[in-house]
Amino acid sequence: MPGEMLFVRGDCLVDPRLFAALLARTSPYWLPAPRATADPLPAAARLSRAQLDTWATAGLKQWLQHSPVLKPEMLDDYSPAHRGPVPFYLHTITTPEEAEVATRTLIRAAQKCALDLPALLLDPVFENRLVFWLRNTRITPNQVTVFTGFTTRHFLSTETYRLTR
């Protein structure tokens, strides 16, 4: 809607599906921050022009009391991109420890729901550890794939592999 604004706190990690749910509502909603702090600032909110004016003139509490709350537990957590249910995430990040938890949350959230048993049980253990280990390097997923391909080709072309077949 023209004149509306999407407000997002800078210290919150919000699941993109929650943003989509906020924007899909016919009237403006707000999403509470996961931890109660002295400041009741929401994690995210879709604000109408009237709510912006209310916030500017009467304060934050006034429009929070008169606006509906988006409750993630009431939403369907099925994700077509992940081929299954994926819990929503919403974190406030103010310390290095919380930043590490948020990093692990993002890595787990990127994992697709597997369709076969080996991929379900084995792949996430190795993939998530490798991604977490490589997260602060300049190595990209494509580089890992190419390296794996070259290593596999080299292994399959060596005499040791040929003698054991």
Q: How many angstroms separate the CA atoms of 57 and 66, rounded?
A: 15
pLDDT of the residue at 15? 92
Over residues 39-56, the mean pLDDT reads 83
pLDDT of the residue at 120? 65
pLDDT of the residue at 119? 67
pLDDT of the residue at 6? 87
Start-to-end CA span in the chain (Å): 66
Lowest mean pLDDT, pick from 31-40, 62-71, 92-101: 31-40
Which pTM does this prediction carry?
0.70
Supply the mean pLDDT for the chain.
81
pLDDT of the residue at 115? 61
Over residues 10-34, the mean pLDDT reads 88
Beta-bridged to residue 13, according to DSSP, are 91
